[in-house]
A and B are shown apart, each in its own frame.
Chain A
């Protein structure tokens, strides 16, 4: 092969290679843009152990076993942290999906959908979270809050929920939900306690989570005292338990015992409530009903 011929072939190859290079460079740029787009979603923007795992999966890193175990360690730490936060915050979050709506150097807007439960109350909240870097620091705001809770509790909460959606007070919603759940737990514990202690007198026809406890003497099944323990939620988020005593006594019985004690039981109970508190007052009533 003469030098001349070699140089011609070389020039052709060089030209072909150059074209290929330009084509590949364009492809790589396009792929890089796509990757940058993918990473705008903060959840899927990997760093640290996640980054190492990603590179290992794509064949760039050696030592696969180490990568798996290190990531496993980090995941276990996160699981522990989640347990701790769940216990401390008194709510259980089972799902959180995020969608990045806007992501620039200074501003990040995400749409979050968080679902979970507080004791036995299920909820789902959806809102937009904005984080803006300003001179004074990072300012976080919430907008477009939408709250859904377990249908059973709706009537208790409806005025509160509309207020909270209007004022976008996501944190108040959760504080109130927890408070409500705590007061319901108080009620459940008290009802269960009395049913176990005085099984002949106390019954819970709608279960221990209901608002009503029935008291009656086994030999006088027609005469029932109803304890109605409701938990109110004000529009402002104030949670207040209200305990009332109602009597279900047949007319004939009332005629036989025209004493104030029976007729005025409801008011008398309120006084007892103010002096002794709910549990002691209820115990006093139960003792009276069991005629012991």
Chain B
């Protein structure tokens, strides 16, 4: 099994299935269509009204009143049609919503199938039910995406798939990493934009990807999310704690060396955080060094040590500064 290096880091512009990632359109972009939809339903009426306007102008030479009344009657007709259309649409909307609520309840086994007194004939009620099911499916697919699903898309008539691994930290959705995978004749990663310091090759070798792709994707997701967590923590340290100097860090975010200043004595303490377990976003080792040799052994600093082992570093620093232990 071979892996090709990623073509570029900005995957969005490369051809192939990366465009398909746009498939799960964010709902906010759908919002742009609200104005267009309004136009679509009233287009017929508006064009009719403008025709009437033209007609009215061309009748200027003729005695206005008879022509005027005709035009007014036509306008009333047009408005009546428009009003009835809107009423029908709003009512249909209501019916679909009601159907959907009862369908949701059926899915969670809360109630038996009941017809909520729909007066529609059977053909219309079939269409209504189909529409309600459509909304349900869209919502379920959206949910799969939102909870961190792999957004799998079949490509090349079933010869390949595209998957995307979502990363997330402290309530914010971060980068998504994409993989194009050949499925026939064997399962093989063909393209991806996973950073090189993530051991994708190793994970693929250790997985059962020929029979179950999730044995690759789950560990990969774990690595990528742990990395994203560490990366965010380092970013927050730099942004929120300017009084703490970052002496060293690396691309994989597996090492962080910080310089604290103890307020009263103005002593400097060097704090090294090692993150040797790449599947975690908390350190495996915290070590203090100071000119004052007794300081790291003091109970206060032993507490800091275990605190930093259990708490994301940017949050730990916030507490340590608040309690006046460091500047």
Instruction: From A57-65, A199-207, A256-264, A278-286, give the one contacting chain B.
Output: A57-65
- Residue A98 interfacial (CB < 8 Å): yes
Contacts of A107 in B (CB 8 A): 28
Which of A115, A141, A172 is in CB contact (< 8 Å) with B225? A172
Is B222's CB under 8 angstroms from A175's CB?
Answer: yes
Which of B72, B221, B282 is in CB contact (< 8 Å) with A18? B72
Is A131's CB under 8 angstroms from B27's CB?
Answer: yes
5 tightest CB-CB pairs across the interface, nearest first?
Answer: A171-B148, A168-B171, A24-B79, A58-B88, A17-B72
In the complex, per-residue mask of B164-178: 1 if CB is within 8 Å of any chain A CB, else 0: 001111111100000
Instruction: Write the residues of chain B forming the contact surface with A, with a CB cutoff of 8 angstroms.
Output: 26-31, 33-34, 37-38, 40-41, 44, 65-66, 68-69, 72-73, 75-76, 79-80, 82-83, 85-90, 92-93, 96-97, 104, 107-108, 123-124, 126-128, 130-131, 133-144, 146-152, 154, 163, 166-173, 213-214, 218, 221-222, 225, 280, 282
Instruction: Write the residues of chain A forming the contact surface with B, with a CB cutoff of 8 angstroms.
Output: 6-7, 10-11, 13-14, 17-18, 20-21, 24-25, 27-28, 31-32, 34-36, 38-39, 42-47, 49-51, 53-60, 64, 67-68, 71-72, 74-75, 78-79, 81-82, 84-86, 88-91, 93-98, 103, 105-108, 110, 112, 114-115, 125, 129, 131-133, 138-143, 167-172, 174-175, 178-179, 182, 236, 238
Between A and B, 22 residue pairs with Cβ closer than 8 Å are A7-B65, A17-B73, A31-B87, A34-B90, A45-B31, A45-B33, A53-B131, A60-B41, A68-B130, A71-B131, A74-B134, A82-B141, A88-B149, A91-B147, A93-B147, A96-B142, A108-B28, A112-B146, A139-B173, A142-B172, A172-B168, A178-B218
Known: A44-B96, A81-B141, A95-B104. A28 touches B152 (CB 8 A): no
Is A71's CB under 8 angstroms from B130's CB?
Answer: yes
> Chain A residue with minimal CB distance to B146?
A129
Contacts of B34 in A (CB 8 A): 36, 39, 45
Q: CA separation between A179 and B75, bound complex, in Å?
A: 66
Is B152's CB under 8 angstroms from A141's CB?
Answer: no
Total inter-chain residue pairs, C-beta < 8 Å = 238
Shortest beta-carbon distance, B125 to chain A, in Å? 10
Contacts of A35 in B (CB 8 A): 38, 86, 89-90, 93
